[in-house]
Amino acid sequence: MRDTMLIFGRRPGRGRGFTIVEGVIALMLTALIAMALMELLTQESRTTTQLMDDLTLNKEARQM
């Protein structure tokens, strides 16, 4: 265990903070998840809009 601590040069445990690389990776993952959720919601709203348009067109076709 002491050998691995010497290789990485830091002690394990609380209070060591985050490195810049860890922070950047966390931000990138957060952005990726946010983009995926936004894309999913956009696709769902498109589908809902298309369904509403289809229903409206069907009503108009029936009234003619």
59: in domain: yes
Q: What are the C-alpha distances in Å from 57 to residues 29, 41, 49, 64?
A: 42, 24, 12, 11
Return the pLDDT at 56: 79
What is the rounded average pLDDT for all residues in the chain?
Answer: 77
Q: In whole angstroms, what is the distance from residue 49 CA to residue 44 CA?
A: 9
pTM (predicted TM-score): 0.50
Domain membership of residue 57 as a residue range: 18-63
Return the pLDDT at 5: 55
The 10s digit of each residue's pLDDT in 9-34 is: 666 666 667 788 888 999 999 999 99
13: in domain: no
Return the pLDDT at 33: 96
Read off the amino acid at residue 51: L
Return the pLDDT at 19: 86
Domain count, the chain: 1
Q: In whole angstroms, what is the distance from residue 57 CA to residue 54 CA?
A: 5
38: in domain: yes
3: in domain: no
9: in domain: no
12: in domain: no
pLDDT exceeds cutoff 60 at 6: no
Give the gyration radius of the chain's Cα atoms: 26
C-alpha distance across the termini of the chain, in Å: 81
